Amino acid sequence: MQTIGFSCVNIKDGFWKTKQDMLKNTTVDAVYDRFVETFRFDALKCQPSEKYIPHVFWDSDIAKWIEGACYLLAKEKNPDLLAKVESAVDDIIAGADENGYFNSHYLVTEQQDRFKFRNKHELYCAGHLIEAAIAHRDATGSDRFLRAMCKYADYIEKVFKIEKSAGFVTPGHPEIELALVRLYLCTGEKRYFELAAYFIDEHGKHGESVVETASPKYNQDEMPLCDRETIDGHCVRALYLFSAAADVAFMRGDRKLAEACRRVFDNLVNKRMYITGASGSTDMGEAYTIDYHLPNRTAYAETCASYALALFGRRMFCLEHNAKYADAVERVLYNGFLSGVSLDGKAFFYENPLEIDPEFNGYSQATVRNARFPITQRKEVFSCSCCPPNVIRLIASLGDYMYSYDDDVLYVHQYVNSVMECDGMTVEQITEYPKSGSVKLKFDTHGRKLALRIPGWCRNFKIDRAYMLTGGYAVIADASGVVNVEFDMAVTLIRANRRVHSNAGRLAVMRGPVVYCAEGVDNGKDVRNLCIDLDSKFEVKASPFLLPTLHTTAYQQPESDELYAVAKDNWIQTPLTLIPYYAFANRGESEMIVWLLEK
Amino acid sequence: MQTIGFSCVNIKDGFWKTKQDMLKNTTVDAVYDRFVETFRFDALKCQPSEKYIPHVFWDSDIAKWIEGACYLLAKEKNPDLLAKVESAVDDIIAGADENGYFNSHYLVTEQQDRFKFRNKHELYCAGHLIEAAIAHRDATGSDRFLRAMCKYADYIEKVFKIEKSAGFVTPGHPEIELALVRLYLCTGEKRYFELAAYFIDEHGKHGESVVETASPKYNQDEMPLCDRETIDGHCVRALYLFSAAADVAFMRGDRKLAEACRRVFDNLVNKRMYITGASGSTDMGEAYTIDYHLPNRTAYAETCASYALALFGRRMFCLEHNAKYADAVERVLYNGFLSGVSLDGKAFFYENPLEIDPEFNGYSQATVRNARFPITQRKEVFSCSCCPPNVIRLIASLGDYMYSYDDDVLYVHQYVNSVMECDGMTVEQITEYPKSGSVKLKFDTHGRKLALRIPGWCRNFKIDRAYMLTGGYAVIADASGVVNVEFDMAVTLIRANRRVHSNAGRLAVMRGPVVYCAEGVDNGKDVRNLCIDLDSKFEVKASPFLLPTLHTTAYQQPESDELYAVAKDNWIQTPLTLIPYYAFANRGESEMIVWLLEK
């Protein structure tokens, strides 16, 4: 089983083309400018400055930006962008220590503390630098950055695996494991895979905390990965770690580790994931909590965790041919990940709540202090600005998530208007999905069967060829031709498991893979009171949010001066406008809710 | 207008007789024993000890216990209880400073800091000692304790009003204002009233914080009381303060201050009060927050604030003859106050939440730390144990809340099986209220009209005499005879104002003045999912909780393995048992909810 990379996929038109255009026209420069303004690029020169002390994780922000920029450059020339990339790469190569080490903090200050403290993100930054170098090689053809990063990887192998001279055994924030697997695939050097596998295998065997005050659980370190039943601790760390674990399990045929990955994935999507695909139920430790604890207003739901679920799902498919993995990728792409970026491409959410009440949130946060809420408007940069470059990385590399193949079958995971060409296979998708549910696929699988994912949200579909359903995929025996698929895009009302107490008595509205929300700007105050029922009929209207808005009649209680009154059947009708969740908070601060009352 | 005191009222049988019996048979001794065990009584001896350092507010716990015990002793001899009281009084009198000062902390340690720090509760303790001394005089006929406390009051007047030599102007925790008004009424010494009025008038004019880090709002000190529109800050402080302000406004005919009291009362009961009569929406500062912010699981809802609402309501009636004040007293008596004590009379809630989920609460509190929940089981004593003796004080003095009169009208505020005799007036109430809604009153008003409160919760009632409705009271012109009243005790479903977002889509169940709740011990897991509808029929059954339980058929979602599923009309029926809210948490830790989903 192999996953087809985005370099083989050209997105031609439609929803994701618009988002990719937004990246190249706005986001990549906006993020660059903010990183320049905050001295992150200056810091690469590794010179002491009075203006700033480089944070230990600044290099990761830059590396992810380089990686994302290189994904864009791989598709389309852009001398100005290339010059910015090359300048940063020059500084990194020039600044690296003789032994290959690079970290713009420890090269300038606290030199004696390199690789001493597990929570200092050096290996996390190293991983991102390696991924950036691979992307740079792919985009430019030059391997100068890659060579520097191979040298750094060699040094890391020496310190951590050969000499074991570091202050800790495994990375405090996983990421390098993913990068080392990619470095192996890129260079063919097996040592890199073995170092990745070493970090995965040692993880949880040493009860290492990141800091003394944190529980090993924070860091997935309370047990070996193979023994894990649930997803726990810091959500981005957990998902990066298990994405790499899935790589390792697949590449060395490790069934025990693969089983653990499957259990963890299932625990996440069946018990700990928001309907948007986002996850992480608390900002305390940016972490998972317990099954079914999914508070909407205080959701942590970090954009990076949503990104990481896409990474994890993409890898899990190699271990098990089940549509649930691509379902999760699709869920997060259109919802909990995409909400992380504003419609103009300039501003970002770190956290993506499913409900906002500016008046009560604002009061509670400022005054009561025992409740803490996500911010309600996106920001252009954060002191910990991990999410913005992940937005660039994922949207620019969206083609990575669309196809896998083995000798017998070519799997189509996502429906995007695009052309794929790889190893003699071609698939052209002609579609406005998910605006419409019609997808025409012109395909030549080079002798393979063609497997089309039937999205988990889809109750009715038509395929104009014979097919067999297996693992959530409709498998067509033909190796070439045209197939027309029609997914029913009816608006669907979703109920959460009754154990999710925050959603008791409430319904979410979806159309295809897209989760909708109601904002105060359209619907007035007290959106928590808006009721719909199972018979609600929705009108679908074109909108400036690319995907349509939904319109129906809702019910709400009348305004009143009484605090408590005898309940009457006195609901009043009110027009209800729902917008795609990803588009919330683009029109000023406003109430917002995903889970509407059921009447 | 005068309020008839409990000494004129004998409760004969029924609900409150059972609770008064519980006090004398159990609670008064249980609280005594816990205070002995925690050295609070030892501390009265004002001797240094290695075992404890007396907390600055310990004296208030003792004083409130003495006051409550004396209320019991005023009704029934009890040599053992009297001996305990007298021993404590001996210690207080013996320990007092020559100038009258008494505080078991500052008499032993930090002597130089007396009356220096506003947050040190000395005047709060003094107030409670004064109230205890009045109760002691009334119960025993001896004025030895009262004389000592008059001396202390004189000293306080000297330090705060004459010499102004204290470290602050007004008390950090109101209470002495209430006590000084009572001391004036008890002794006829006008200076005590004037000192109370001085504290009320100066409050909020000096922007005094209790501690530098707290906002003056915490302490109702951000403006003069007359200017206040809303109830804010620490809820017990606010309610004690405004109770005394209502006294002062009434006694000196201060319309501006009376108006402020009315505004604050209305703000509380119309926008900031739980349906149980409890109030205080956050533990941070034990405080009010903003209008309609009434979270159920994290409610602060302190038992003492409920007690204090009864104090406030009782006093407000003197300023305005409106049934809303006695309605509030009744609401809190049967619900948010009474929940503060266990059915066996031994254990207490400081906070009285309206919803409990042990699994999620427990997890969040221990691990997530950004949410903080009230305890789920009552405790026998607290380090700050203000609530237990307030339970004794209020139940023992319940007769205080039943009648007021002026030259023309005798007002009946509460319905309790009892006999009242005062100034030639007699009222015998024969009733099982609120088990039943029938009340027979045999009355002789000594020439006045008789005004019967029609409870705010009551939609249908019958009175077998001619009456005129005014201000929520049915006024009968006859001065003597028998009147039979029948309040319809139908089960009522209550909806909260739509601005109360935590109750959106939910209904509360009341029968008469009693709020009901569903507990997991009767209804299984996930009580947040239990739905009732406006047509639900309730069976009323006798129960071990004194008042009946309610039984109906509810609906809930089936258990499921799916986290999110297409919503179906697949509700399943399930028997629903509701118990009086005050009886929750008497059968082990359990889920509990007041506001049930509306189907």
Return the half-sphere exposure (C-beta side, CA atoms, 13 A cut-off) of residue B8: 18
pLDDT digits (tens, 9 = 90+) for A213-223: 678 888 898 99
- The pLDDT value given to residue B98: 96
pLDDT confidence band for B207 (50 / 70 / 90):
confident
**Lowest-confidence pick of A55-59, A258-262, A347-351, B207-211:** B207-211
Tell me if A359 and B290 make a contact (CB, 8 A cut-off): yes
Mean pLDDT of A420-429: 97
Tokens of A280: 């992480």
* Residue keyed to tokens 């004040």: B325
483-502 in chain A: CB under 8 A from chain B: 492-501
Tell me if B368 and A289 make a contact (CB, 8 A cut-off): yes
Mean pLDDT of B354-358: 95
User: Does residue B505 register a pLDDT over 90?
Assistant: yes
- The pLDDT value given to residue A583: 98
Tokens of B27: 């609670």
Chain A positions in Cβ-Cβ contact with residue B558 (cut-off 8 Å): 498
- The pLDDT value given to residue B370: 59
- The pLDDT value given to residue B208: 81
User: Does residue A287 register a pLDDT over 70?
Assistant: yes
Tokens of A488: 């029913």
Tell me if B371 and A370 make a contact (CB, 8 A cut-off): yes
- The pLDDT value given to residue B529: 95
Positions of B annotated as catalytic residues are 286, 386
Chain A positions in Cβ-Cβ contact with residue B497 (cut-off 8 Å): 560, 562-565
Question: CA-CA distances (angstroms) from residue A439 to A376, A452, A486?
Answer: 36, 11, 6
Of A283, A500, A559, the CB nearest to B370: A283
Chain B positions in Cβ-Cβ contact with residue A562 (cut-off 8 Å): 270, 497
Mean pLDDT of A23-43: 97
Of A289, A360, A531, the CB nearest to B293: A360
pLDDT digits (tens, 9 = 90+) for A433-446: 999 999 999 999 99
Mean pLDDT of A299-314: 97
Q: Which of B217, B359, B368, B514 to mutate to test the interface with A (most CBs of A within 10 A)?
A: B368
- CA dihedral of B223, B227, B232, B235, whole degrees rounded to 10: 100
Burial letters for A292-317: b for 16+ Cβ neighbours within 10 Å, e otherwise? Answer: bbbbbbbbbbbbbbbbbbbbbbbbbb
Mean pLDDT of A194-223: 87
User: Does residue B279 register a pLDDT over 90?
Assistant: yes
- The pLDDT value given to residue B427: 98
pLDDT digits (tens, 9 = 90+) for A317-327: 999 999 999 99
User: Does residue B500 register a pLDDT over 80?
Assistant: yes
Question: Radius of gyration of chain A from Cα atoms?
Answer: 24
Tell me if A559 and B492 make a contact (CB, 8 A cut-off): no
Q: Does A460 touch chain B (CB under 8 A)?
A: no
User: Does residue A400 register a pLDDT over 80?
Assistant: yes
Q: Does A368 touch chain B (CB under 8 A)?
A: yes
* pTM (2 d.p.): 0.95
Tell me if A499 and B598 make a contact (CB, 8 A cut-off): no
- Measure the N-to-C terminal CA separation of chain B; round to a whole number of Å: 48
Residue B378, min C-alpha distance to chain A (Å) = 22
Query: Complex ipTM above 0.90?
Result: yes
pLDDT confidence band for A328 (50 / 70 / 90):
very high
Positions of A annotated as catalytic residues are 286, 386
How far, in Å, CA of A198 to CA of A328, rounded? 28
Q: Does domain B10-401 have CATH number 3.40.190.290?
A: no
Closest C-alpha to A21, from A64, A65, A78: A78
Mean pLDDT of A248-260: 98
Chain B positions in Cβ-Cβ contact with residue A271 (cut-off 8 Å): 563
Residues of chain B with pLDDT > 90, as a percent, come to: 93
Mean pLDDT of B14-38: 97
pLDDT confidence band for B269 (50 / 70 / 90):
very high
pLDDT digits (tens, 9 = 90+) for B508-545: 999 999 999 999 999 999 999 999 999 999 999 999 99
**Lowest-confidence pick of A370-379, B403-412, B533-542:** A370-379
pLDDT confidence band for A39 (50 / 70 / 90):
very high
Amino acid, single-letter form, for residue B172 = G
How far, in Å, CA of A224 to CA of A226, rounded? 5
- The pLDDT value given to residue A218: 86
User: Does residue B366 register a pLDDT over 70?
Assistant: no
What phi and psi values does residue B256 have, to the nearest 5 degrees?
-65, -45
- The pLDDT value given to residue B146: 98
Q: Which of A331, A526, A564, A592 to mutate to test the interface with B (most CBs of B within 10 A)?
A: A564
Angle at A116 between CA A111 and CA A121, to 5 degrees: 90
Of A494, A504, A567, the CB nearest to B529: A504
Chain B positions in Cβ-Cβ contact with residue A279 (cut-off 8 Å): none
Q: Are the CB atoms for A395 and A307 separated by under 8 Å?
A: no
pLDDT digits (tens, 9 = 90+) for B52-76: 999 999 999 999 999 999 999 999 9
What phi and psi values does residue A566 have, to the nearest 5 degrees?
-60, 130
- The pLDDT value given to residue A197: 98
554-593 in chain B: CB under 8 A from chain A: 556-569
Q: Are the CB atoms for A185 and A135 separated by under 8 Å?
A: no
pLDDT confidence band for A369 (50 / 70 / 90):
low
Tell me if B557 and A360 make a contact (CB, 8 A cut-off): no
- The pLDDT value given to residue A124: 98
User: Does residue A374 register a pLDDT over 70?
Assistant: yes
171-190 in chain B: CB under 8 A from chain A: none
Mean pLDDT of B377-393: 95
Tell me if B499 and A282 make a contact (CB, 8 A cut-off): no
- The pLDDT value given to residue B365: 62
Of B282, B371, B526, the CB nearest to A498: B526
How far, in Å, CA of B362 to CA of B385, rounded? 23
pLDDT confidence band for B371 (50 / 70 / 90):
low
Question: CA-CA distances (angstroms) from residue B495 to A571, B323, B555?
Answer: 12, 21, 18
User: Does residue B369 register a pLDDT over 80?
Assistant: no
Mean pLDDT of B106-113: 94
Q: Could you tell me the strand order of the sheet in which B409-412 lies?
A: B2-3, B403-405, B409-412, B449-453, B473-476, B468-470
Of A275, A290, A371, the CB nearest to B371: A371
Tell me if A561 and B270 make a contact (CB, 8 A cut-off): yes
pLDDT digits (tens, 9 = 90+) for A565-592: 999 999 999 999 999 999 999 999 999 9
Chain A positions in Cβ-Cβ contact with residue B369 (cut-off 8 Å): 284
Amino acid, single-letter form, for residue A191 = R
**Segments making up each domain of chain B, as ranges:** 10-401, 404-487, 491-598
How far, in Å, CA of A346 to CA of B449, rounded? 74
User: Does residue B434 register a pLDDT over 90?
Assistant: yes
User: Does residue B368 register a pLDDT over 60?
Assistant: no
Of A284, A563, A567, the CB nearest to B370: A284
Chain B positions in Cβ-Cβ contact with residue A494 (cut-off 8 Å): 564-567
Tell me if A564 and B370 make a contact (CB, 8 A cut-off): no
Tell me if A371 and B370 make a contact (CB, 8 A cut-off): yes
- The pLDDT value given to residue B283: 87
Return the half-sphere exposure (C-beta side, CA atoms, 13 A cut-off) of residue B94: 11
**Lowest-confidence pick of A590-594, B360-364, B462-466:** B360-364
Angle at B112 between CA B107 and CA B118, to 5 degrees: 90
Tokens of B280: 């205080």
How far, in Å, CA of A176 to CA of A153, rounded? 9
Q: Does A39 touch chain B (CB under 8 A)?
A: no
Burial class (CB in 10 A: 0-12, 13-18, 19+), A595: buried
- The pLDDT value given to residue A209: 75
Looking at residue A158, the DSSP 8-state letter turns out to be: I
Given CA atoms A143, A149, A154, A155 in this order, what sign does their dihedral have?
positive
Chain A positions in Cβ-Cβ contact with residue B569 (cut-off 8 Å): 534
Angle at A59 between CA A55 and CA A61, to 5 degrees: 95
How far, in Å, CA of B296 to CA of B92, rounded? 41
What phi and psi values does residue B352 have, to the nearest 5 degrees?
-130, 80
**B-chain residue closest to A496, CA distance:** B564
How far, in Å, CA of A171 to CA of A120, rounded? 9
CATH tag, A404-487:
2.60.420
Mean pLDDT of B8-12: 96
212-271 in chain B: CB under 8 A from chain A: 269-271
Residue A493, min C-alpha distance to chain B (Å) = 6
Mean pLDDT of A34-46: 97
Q: Are the CB atoms for B565 and B589 separated by under 8 Å?
A: no
User: Does residue A543 register a pLDDT over 80?
Assistant: yes
How far, in Å, CA of A70 to CA of A65, rounded? 8
Closest C-alpha to A56, from A103, A111, A110: A103
